[in-house]
Structure 1
């Protein structure tokens, strides 16, 4: 591998940095986007049960917000309701949406960086190959003929950059699509949970 990197020349180093960055971001998202950290099972039902018993205390709301991203969204709506149990639906919905936007921002973090690496890696690989081809043909002295074996070897070395660029881009693209699907699922779950809690809070406020 070291000999391949040395043969490919300096253009392969940006690709190596991209591969390290992509690996770090993918591992971070794998850890962060765990279900227990974003939307634990049964949390919505627990919150609905607590809300039926009356306005939750500040300590309960803080624990709920620290529990997970879904908990922070539900806590945002409960805070607005606790400050005014007869608040109109538009006020409560705005509180849920504000908390939801903050949660969505946390879920989307680093996904654009992974997508950028997936898009840029093939171009960097192509750039390295083009630079290698220019050097190969530029080194052929005019009038002395061309050594086909040496030329073929030089072209194969130049193509290392393209191959490495694809090796970085394909896993990065697959990871981005996977994480985007998980984020969309989480956002849908949060929206459904917020709607359930909103309906219950409105019923309790209208009693």
Structure 2
């Protein structure tokens, strides 16, 4: 592998950097977008059970926000209800919407960077190949050089194509992971919308029990 990288020349350096950054971002997103970190299975039921006797205090709400992305969303609604026990359903819904936008922003972190790597890597590979072929033809001395040693020319072209191949090797996994993360986030968003609606209706039905913790 080291000999291939050396043969491909300096244009492959940006691709190597893209591969390192892309791998780090993909691993980070895989860890951050686990169901246990985003939307724990029974979190909504537990919060509803706890709040049947009144809203929790600020420390409990803060711990809920640190629990997961869904916990952060629910904490936004609970904080709004605690701040104003007589809050209207419309304002409470707006609080959940604000929390939802923050949650989506957190889940989509680094996705643009992964998508950029997936789009730019093939272009960087093609650029490296073109630069390599220009250097090969320049060193061969033009048409006379090409006719004099076709074997060396073919070998040089194969080395130049390493850049294109490496660019595709970087781009394909990045594109697959980007689409995978996007699909997973869309599913999480639907689940969180349902959870927020359940929590909203629960809080609306308990106006007399909003004691502010």
Q: TM-score range by the shorter chain?
A: over 0.9
Contact 1:86 1:206 in 2 (8 A): no
Tell me by how many angstroms 1:97 deviates.
1.1
Counterpart-to-counterpart distance in 1, 2:204 and 2:94: 14
Instruction: Trace 1:29-108 onto structure 2 (pairs within 5 A).
Output: 29-108=29-108
Counterpart for residue 114 of structure 2: 114
Deviations 1:133-153 (A, max 9, x none): 111111122445331111111
Counterpart for residue 156 of structure 1: 158
Q: For 2:181, which of 179, 182, 187 is the aligned residue?
A: 179
Moved more, 92-101 or 157-166: 92-101
Tell me by how many angstroms 1:103 deviates.
1.3
Counterpart for residue 167 of structure 1: 169
Instruction: Trace 1:18-29 onto structure 2 (pairs within 5 A).
Output: 18-29=18-29
**CA RMSD, Structure 1 to Structure 2 (Å):** 1.4
Moved more, 20-29 or 85-94: 85-94
Contact 1:77 1:96 in 2 (8 A): yes
Moved more, 137-146 or 35-44: 137-146
Counterpart-to-counterpart distance in 1, 2:104 and 2:136: 49
TM-score, normalization by structure 1: 0.95
Partner SS for 1:86: coil
- Runs of 4+ in structure 1 over 4 Å off: none
Unaligned runs of at least 5 residues, structure 2: none
Tell me by how many angstroms 1:206 deviates.
7.5
Deviations 1:58-106 (A, max 9, x none): 2221221111111111011011112223211111011111111111111
TM-score, normalization by structure 2: 0.93
Counterpart for residue 9 of structure 1: 9
Unaligned runs of at least 5 residues, structure 1: none
